[in-house]
Structure 1
Amino acid sequence: MNPWRWLSWLVMILACRASQFDNGADKNAIPDMSDNVTERLEIINGTPNYKLIKPDKSTQWFPEREIKLDSCVRRARCEPLNKTSCLGSKLPYDKTSVHLTFYDNQYQIQTQLELYRELINVPTCWAVIQPLLCSTFMPKCERILGQDMVYLPSYEMCKITMEPCSILYNTSYFPSFLKCNTTLFPSRCENAVREIKFNTSGKCLPPLIHTDKPLHFYEGISGCGLPCRDPLYTEDEHQQIHRLVAWGAGVCLALNLLTVATFLIDWRSANKYPALVIFYINVCFAVASMGWLIQFGVGSRDDIVCSKDGTRRQGEPSAEENLSCVVVFVLVYYFMMAACVWFVIFTYAWHMSFRALGKIQDRIDKKAAYFHLVAWSLPLILTIATMAFGEVDGSSVTGICFVGYVNHPMRAALLLAPLSVVLALGGYFLLRGVFSLIAVRVSSKDVISPRAANKIRQTITRCSLTAALVAVFICVTFACHIYEFRNAELWKEAFKKNIICRLEALKEPEKECSGGVRPSVSVLQLRLLCCFAAGALMASWTWTAAAAAAWRRYAARCAALY
C-alpha cells in the first residue's frame, strides 16, 4: 500500500482523537467513549459525588424556580435487591447498594428499616421521611458509563423532614448519615424514590392522641396532642382532687347559703352597711361554689374541660366548642373576683365605721351605689379581658375552666395581681380599723360599760383573726402558684423526655424509660383548700348570738302560721 495513504489515515485518526478531547467539555467529566453521546458525569466540587447530565426530555424540572434537576450519583458497588419493596411500597428498580449507610448487607438494612417503621407514631414525620429512608437505605444503583453508580437522595428530601421529625433529630434515634449533610445529600437532585406513593397515615404514641387542631399539637409532634386527662397526674390523684372539690365546694356552698338565708329571714334589721357587705360576699362565694360543683353532673366534667377531639380545652372561647367551659369559668372566676372586691369594700366600711362610731352610717349608705358599681364592674372587666385574650383553659384535675392553665404570665396578671391588690387594700383597712378600735378601748375604758368593752374586744379579735386568715390564704395561694410557675417547664421537659425515650425504646426494646418529676398533688390540694376555706371564713361572720336569735324568731313566726 502507498505509504502516503497510510500517513493520511494516521493524520485523520489523530485529528478525530484531538477533537474528541477538545470539545469544551468539563475537564473533570468522565468521558463517554461510545458513539452517540447522550449523557455525561460532572463532578460536584469538594465531594465524591457527580451530577448525571442527561440532555434529553426525560430530565425533570423544578417548576417553582424553573431549574432543571439532574440525578446525583456516587461510585459504589451495585447488587440485586433482596426485597423489591421498601416500607410497603414497590421500588421501580432492581439493584441497590449498601454504601450510603453504616451497614454491611441488605439483611441488616431491612432489620433497621423495620425498626424505623415505629416513626408511624410521629404522624407528620412518618408522612415525609419514608422517601428519605428508602432513598438512603435502598437507593437505586446501576451501571453508568462503565461504572457502578448509586443515586443519591437530595438535600431538599432531607431538609423537609427536619421540622416534622424535630423531636428526634437531636437524639441518638437517627444515625449521623441521616443528619442532612451536604456530602451525602447534594442540593437539587432528582431521585426516583420521590415518585413512589407511600402510606402516609400515622398514629400517636399513648398518651398522645390524634388532633387536627394546630393549637393542640404537642411540641415536636404535629398531628398529636395531649389528652384531656392530664398525664402529669395519676388516675388516683385525679380522684383525690375530685373528692376534695366535692367536699370543699359542697361545704362552702352550704355555709354560704346558710349565711344568705340568715340575712333574708331578718332583712329589715340586717339590711345595713357594713354588715350587708357580708351578704354579697356570701352570695358570690355560693355562686362560685355552684360553678365548682357543676362538674359532678353525669358526663359534665368531660363536656366542660374536653374538646370534641378528646384533647384538653384551651384558648376558649372558640366557635368550634360549646359554651359549657365558658359558663363554668364565668361562674367561678367572675364571682370569686367579685367576692374579693366586696371584701375590700367590707374592710373599708368597717374602717370608716371605727373612725367615727355613731356618725358614719348615713355616709356609708349613700356610697352603696358606688360600692355596687365597683364590685360588679371590675370583675366584669377582668372576665371580658380574659375571654378576649383567649386565656380560658380546662383542667381535668380540678374539673373546671379557669384563667391561664396554659399561659402562666396571664394567670399571674389576671389572678395573682388582683389578689395582691385585695391583700394590700383589705389588710390596710382592716388593720387601720383594728387600731382605731384599740385606741377607742384604751381611751374610753373608764367611760364605756363592760358590755360595750366586751363587744369592742370581740370585734377586735374577729377583725384581727379575719385579717390574719385572709393573709394566710392569699399568701399560701401565691406560694402554690409560684411553685407551679417555677416547676412547670421542668415537668414539661421530663414528660417530653419520657415521650422521646419511649419512641427510642420502640427501636431499642432494651431501653428503660422513667416517668421523671411530676407536680405534687398536695400543693394543689392546699391551694384548693385555701379557696374553699376563704368562703367558709366569710360565712362565719354570721355565727353570732344575734344570728341565732334571728333564726329563733323566724322559727317562732313559722310555728305561729301553723
Structure 2
Amino acid sequence: MCCNLYSVAYLVRLTLGRERVSCDLDAAAVPILVQEGLKSTGCAIVFLLLYFFGMASSLWWVILTLTWFLAAGLKWGHEAIEMHSSYFHIAAWAIPAVKTIVILIMRLVDADDLTGLCYVGNQQQEALTGFVVAPLATYLLIGTLFICAGLVALFKIRSNLQKDGAKTDKLERLMVKIGVFSVLYTVPASTVIGCYLYQLSHWGEFRASPRDSYVGIGDASDLHVTACRHHIRHVDLVGKNPPHLAALLRPPAQG
C-alpha cells in the first residue's frame, strides 16, 4: 500500500504539470524553482506522498524482517507476534510522520530541476544526507541483519530436522521464498542508496552542470521551465539580485 501511494506522487506531477508543482513566482513574476514547498500546494502534496510513504515502506520492510526473525530465530508464535502489531503500526507510521513534520517546520522541501518533483535535499546536501540517505541506509542495514539472522536460524532448524529424518521440503520452499523476496527488495534499495551516495560525492558537479549548460543559450524551447530550472543556480553565483531571464538567455556576442 505504501509503495502504491508513493507512486501516486508521480501521477500528481504528471497531471498538474511541471510548473504547478516545482515552480513559483518571485516578486517580478518570474518563474523560479521552489525552495520552500509549503508555498505550493502541488509541491507539498508530491513531497508528502514521496517522503512519508517512501519512508513508511522502508520501515515496514524492517518490521517484516523483524517478524521473520521472531518467528524463525526466537520461535515466536503467530499469536505472540500479533499481540505486538499495534507497536509495529506505531513505529511504521509515527517515525516517518515525525520526520515529515520536522522537514516541513525547517522548510527543507525543495524542487528538483530535472524531474520537477518536490522532495527534500534536492538543493541542500546536508538535508539529503540527514533525512534521506542516512535513514534509508539504516533501515536497509537493520532489515538485512534480521533477514540474515532469520535465515541462519532456519538453516539450523533444517539441519536438525534432517538429522531426525524428517522431511524439509516445505521449510526449504519457505527459505527460497524469503531469499528471493529479500533479493528483490535489497538490490533495488541498495541501488537507490548508491545513486544518492554518488550524487553526494559529485555534488558540485551536479549543481554546476545545469547552470553551465544554459548560460548563453539564445533559443530556449520553454522559457518558463528554463527560468524555473536555473534561476536559483544564478542566485548562488551573483548574490541576492539575480539577472533577469532575458540576460540569462541572451545569445553570446558574435565576433
Q: TM-score, normalised by structure 1?
A: 0.37
Which residue does the alignment assign to 2:65? 347
Distance 1:376 1:498 in 2: 42
Residue 356 of structure 1, CA deviation: 4.5
- Residue 410, structure 1, aligned to residue 155, structure 2: no
- Residue 385, structure 1, aligned to residue 106, structure 2: no
Write the deviation string for residues 112-159 of structure 1: whole angstroms up to 9, x where unpaired: xxxxxxxxxxxxxxxxxxxxxxxxxxxxxxxxxxxxxxxxxxxxxxxx
Unaligned runs of 5+ in 2: 218-246
Which residue does the alignment assign to 2:199? 484
Which residue does the alignment assign to 2:179? 464
Write the deviation string for residues 217-236 of structure 1: whole angstroms up to 9, x where unpaired: xxxxxxxxxxxxxxxxxxxx
Residues 73-472 of structure 1 correspond to what in structure 2 (within 5 A)? 283-297=1-15, 299-308=16-25, 309-318=30-39, 322-357=40-75, 359-395=76-112, 397-447=114-164, 449-450=166-167, 453-472=168-187
AA aligned opposite 2:52: Y
Computing the radius of gyration over CA atoms, which structure comes out larger, 1 or 2? Answer: 1
Residue 440 of structure 1, CA deviation: 0.4
- 1:291 touches 1:332 (CA, 8 Å); kept in 2? yes
Matched positions, count: 220
Distance 1:423 1:483 in 2: 18
- 1:431 touches 1:464 (CA, 8 Å); kept in 2? no
Distance 2:216 2:31 in 1: 24
Write the deviation string for residues 328-365 of structure 1: whole angstroms up to 9, x where unpaired: 111111011111111101100010100254x5222211
Distance 1:446 1:499 in 2: 70
**Which stretch shifts more, 490-499 or 431-440?**
490-499
Distance 2:212 2:116 in 1: 27
AA aligned opposite 2:254: P
Which residue does the alignment assign to 2:222? none
AA aligned opposite 1:311: I
Which residue does the alignment assign to 1:509? 254
Which residue does the alignment assign to 1:474? 189
Query: Partner of 2:114: helix, strand, or coil?
Result: coil
Q: CA separation of 1:380/1:491 partners in 2, compared to 1, >3 Å: closer, same or farther? A: closer
Distance 1:507 1:401 in 2: 33
Q: CA separation of 1:397/1:347 partners in 2, compared to 1, >3 Å: closer, same or farther? A: same
Which residue does the alignment assign to 1:102? none
Considering Cα pairs closer than 8 Å and 6+ residues apart, tell me whether 1 or 2 has the greater RCO: 2
Residues 35-50 of structure 1 correspond to what in structure 2 (within 5 A)? none
Distance 2:212 2:135 in 1: 36
AA aligned opposite 1:377: A
Distance 2:150 2:210 in 1: 50
Q: CA separation of 1:353/1:484 partners in 2, compared to 1, >3 Å: closer, same or farther? A: same
Q: CA separation of 1:442/1:390 partners in 2, compared to 1, >3 Å: closer, same or farther? A: same
Q: CA separation of 1:354/1:301 partners in 2, compared to 1, >3 Å: closer, same or farther? A: same
Distance 1:495 1:399 in 2: 14
Which residue does the alignment assign to 1:24? none
Query: Partner of 1:418: helix, strand, or coil?
Result: helix
Residue 473 of structure 1, CA deviation: 2.0
AA aligned opposite 2:31: G
AA aligned opposite 1:475: S
Distance 2:86 2:212 in 1: 56
CA RMSD of aligned residues (A): 2.4
Residue 442 of structure 1, CA deviation: 0.6
Residue 404 of structure 1, CA deviation: 0.9
Distance 2:148 2:204 in 1: 39
Query: Partner of 1:397: helix, strand, or coil?
Result: coil
Residue 389 of structure 1, CA deviation: 1.5
Distance 2:18 2:165 in 1: 57
Query: Partner of 2:162: helix, strand, or coil?
Result: coil
Residue 293 of structure 1, CA deviation: 1.3
Distance 2:110 2:42 in 1: 12
Distance 1:467 1:448 in 2: 29
Write the deviation string for residues 380-399 of structure 1: whole angstroms up to 9, x where unpaired: 01111111121111235334
Which residue does the alignment assign to 2:239? none
- 1:317 touches 1:392 (CA, 8 Å); kept in 2? yes
Distance 1:440 1:339 in 2: 30
Distance 2:111 2:205 in 1: 21
Query: Partner of 2:122: helix, strand, or coil?
Result: coil
AA aligned opposite 1:332: L
Q: TM-score, normalised by structure 2?
A: 0.77
**Which stretch shifts more, 476-485 or 343-352?**
476-485
- 1:301 touches 1:396 (CA, 8 Å); kept in 2? no
Query: Partner of 1:445: helix, strand, or coil?
Result: helix
Residues 515-554 of structure 1 correspond to what in structure 2 (within 5 A)? none
Which residue does the alignment assign to 2:227? none
